Structure 1
Amino acid sequence: MPRDIQIITEPQLRKIIALDRVLVDVVERAFSALAEGHVVMPPVLSMDLPMVHGEVDVKTAYIPGFDGFAIKVSPGFFNNPKLGLPSLNGLMVLLSAKTGLVEAVYLDNGYLTELRTAAAGAVAARHLAPSTVDTAGVVGTGIQARLQMQAAFLERPFRRGLVWGRDTDKADACAKDLTAALGVPFSATTSVADLVARAQFVVTTTPSREPLITADMLHPGLHITAMGSDQAGKNEIAPRVLAAIDAYACDSQSQCAALGELRAAIDAGAWADHKAIELGEIVLGKKAGREQPNDVTLCDLTGTGAQDTAIACHVRMAFPDAGQSIPISTGTS
């Protein structure tokens, strides 16, 4: 029996979907679903490829009540810029939750992952950041650094911003881009410690394998969202930080224990008697996150297959006529 598969390319996706509060709500629903306990989400299939300075992640999740589920392939080959190619690539395949048949292929080159990751940061800001943020800071200078600041601004409009990066020219460029995008002044700083000291809200977005934020940098009222550590070996936050803060939240406890900042704290023996709170539990009101204005909080985001399913289903439902429909025949094997 012939049927159609929707195919949308990255340029087409960029015309129809962007980072906004509607998308934040979509991703927030994925966090809620995880906390309700009925999501089927296998561990991330992750390959570290140091011989080519690359990595590949495959993520998926089935969420009861959603019409489909996504399988996302996300390669990152970090020598590509030397070849004039982007570091990130990939695609999402959306399958019917009823029949398992392919319904859509999103040739997004990582664009949907960029958006859902930024939206996840906005969910963290919504539920954990101080009610008033005067200064926000971002550690890192890439696409996600820019998007995370834009996401934070949706939930906590701040008055000024700071950027730190190992490359000062890239930090200056990122600060200029964010100033233009958000209409508030951003400036580059040469010290992570200075950035943290001056900010009430900080996001880390690097692939660092050595801690960038240490426990001595913490101060009352600070919130940190750490989203760079998504593979074993990456580590932006010193293990003692997790033991020193008032509340630690994560997107998935099991996933963060394997891939996130929680893994580093466990390995260092800094998490012996602590219990992680999943962000979805805070969204649903099952657990408390920030309880007092002076609390120091941290959210550990490794990116989940549930988020990929949520954004893929959103594209399918909100833009059913986007892209092109390719008729195919359903055969048997």
Structure 2
Amino acid sequence: MRSMTILTERQLRDLVTLDLEAVRCVEEAFRTLATKKVVMPPILRLDILEHRGEVDVKTAYVPGLDGFAIKISPGFFGNPEIGLPSTNGLMVLLSSKTGLVQALLLDNGYLTDVRTAAAGAVAAMHLARKDASVAAVFGAGMQARLQLQALMLVRQIREARIWARDAAKANKTARELSDQLGISVIASDSREAAVAGAHVIITTTPADQPILEARWLEQGQHITAMGSDAEHKNEVEAEAIARADLYVADSLAQTRRLGELHHAIEAGAVAEDRALRELGQIVAGAVAGRTDDRQITIADLTGTGIQDTAIANLAFARALAVKAGTTID
């Protein structure tokens, strides 16, 4: 009788942490997307507007991997008001050879949080200035915290500013991150002030109107926009995309449909046929990333099924290694 592995969130937190290994795993997923015949269908999306809810289903088959993941990822943004997390979900890992279920990963969105933060680190690693030391984060939720933590894995950040619509939450997050990360993290009551002098700007909100304006941007800044994973979401002003020296997507097929690029094209700020790059091409060395410390760069991250498949395979491999009493690199 075949067996299926069931892993809880607590077990998965022990198996997969936000560290350089997770960043390398997601970086390899970007490289694979650019260099192999990955099968990654469009995101299946369900909106439940009356409860500020959305559900995304993502998947990808990667040649060479034993398993492929199907992820169900709900986001209900009114949940914090009733004491519940805004995101949760699970992943199912199936055999690439037989289609049989190998593992049920009951992560409550934890693996998605890790891979999303790791993707931000990959973007910064290839696009932010090497000497970047000041960060600005828009948002004060879980992903805001993890994005800053991930950024510090690849850049020597010594100061950060947090802006959020809820000033009390921004102050709380800033205090806790200061203690956790051992750097100066302050809450800013102004978006423009948070951006001024920052080397890396990260937007992590479900905003449906731009919160980052083009006129605030300075030479040398890198922006990672990761909140616009649906057609109606929009964090970055269209003119900022046009002004950037280098715009990079996780998947152009997705950002043309739902990311920041989609809004810039609709606004006429960016030509629909403009030649653009994907992060995987830069990771693979097929095209150049940042070439000048004065460039303004933007990474438009909408989240891809290949990242979910990669992190699910990592978790499953580690679970099998633990069961066998061995370790994996």
Task: Give 1:15 shift.
Answer: 2.1
Q: How far apart in 2 are the matches of 1:152 and 1:173?
A: 20
Q: How far apart in 1 are the matches of 2:236 and 2:275?
A: 17
Task: Give 1:16 shift.
Answer: 2.3
Aligned length, in residue pairs: 322
* 1:114 match: 113
- SS of residue in 2 equivalent to 1:198: coil
Task: Give 1:122 shift.
Answer: 0.6
- For 2:73, give the aligned amino acid: S
- SS of residue in 1 equivalent to 2:253: helix
* 1:261 match: 260
* 1:330 match: none
User: Percent same amino acid among aligned pairs?
Assistant: 53
Conservation of the 8 A alpha-carbon contact between 1:250 and 1:256: yes
Map 1:297-312 onto structure 2 (within 5 A).
Answer: 297-312=297-312
* 2:49 match: 50
- For 2:216, give the aligned amino acid: M
* 1:242 match: 241
- For 1:45, give the aligned amino acid: L
Conservation of the 8 A alpha-carbon contact between 1:62 and 1:306: yes
Residue by residue over 1:88-133, the C-alpha shift from the partner in whole angstroms, topping out at 9 and shown as x without a partner, is 1110000011111100000000000000000000100110010111
Residue by residue over 1:167-211, the C-alpha shift from the partner in whole angstroms, topping out at 9 and shown as x without a partner, is 111111111111112111100111111111120111000000111
* 1:316 match: 316
TM-score, normalised to structure 1, is 0.94
Q: How far apart in 1 are the matches of 2:107 and 2:275?
A: 36
Conservation of the 8 A alpha-carbon contact between 2:36 and 2:63: no
For the pair 1:134 / 2:133, whether they are aligned, the reply is yes
Map 1:67-106 onto structure 2 (within 5 A).
Answer: 67-106=66-105
- For 2:133, give the aligned amino acid: D
Q: How far apart in 1 are the matches of 2:82 and 2:173?
A: 22
Q: How far apart in 1 are the matches of 2:212 and 2:200?
A: 13
- For 1:35, give the aligned amino acid: A
Q: How far apart in 1 are the matches of 2:197 and 2:169?
A: 21
Q: How far apart in 2 are the matches of 1:223 and 1:81?
A: 30
Moved more, 220-229 or 42-51: 42-51
Q: How far apart in 1 are the matches of 2:314 and 2:133?
A: 33
Question: Which segments of structure 1 move beyond 4 Å, counting only runs of 4 or more?
Answer: none
Q: How far apart in 2 are the matches of 1:177 and 1:37?
A: 41
- SS of residue in 2 equivalent to 1:229: coil
Q: How far apart in 2 are the matches of 1:208 and 1:322?
A: 41
* 1:229 match: 228
Q: How far apart in 2 are the matches of 1:39 and 1:269?
A: 31
- For 1:304, give the aligned amino acid: T
- For 1:279, give the aligned amino acid: L
Task: Give 1:319 shift.
Answer: 2.2
Moved more, 46-55 or 94-103: 46-55
Map 1:1-333 onto structure 2 (within 5 A).
Answer: 2-272=1-271, 273-320=273-320
* Relative contact order, higher structure (CA 8 A, sep 6+): 1
TM-score, normalised to structure 2, is 0.96
Conservation of the 8 A alpha-carbon contact between 1:8 and 1:322: no
Q: How far apart in 2 are the matches of 1:293 and 1:82?
A: 42
Moved more, 267-276 or 181-190: 267-276
Q: How far apart in 2 are the matches of 1:217 and 1:3?
A: 58
* 1:331 match: none
Q: How far apart in 1 are the matches of 2:71 and 2:100?
A: 16
Structure 1's unaligned 5+ residue stretches are 324-333
- For 2:221, give the aligned amino acid: L
Structure 2's unaligned 5+ residue stretches are 324-329
Q: How far apart in 2 are the matches of 1:145 and 1:45?
A: 25
Residue by residue over 1:134-164, the C-alpha shift from the partner in whole angstroms, topping out at 9 and shown as x without a partner, is 2111000000000000010000011111100
- SS of residue in 1 equivalent to 2:2: strand
Task: Give 1:77 shift.
Answer: 1.6
Task: Give 1:274 shift.
Answer: 2.3
- SS of residue in 2 equivalent to 1:195: helix
Q: How far apart in 1 are the matches of 2:2 and 2:30?
A: 32
Moved more, 83-92 or 229-238: 83-92
- For 1:282, give the aligned amino acid: I
Conservation of the 8 A alpha-carbon contact between 1:18 and 1:115: yes
User: CA RMSD of the aligned region, Å?
Assistant: 1.2
Q: How far apart in 2 are the matches of 1:54 and 1:219?
A: 35
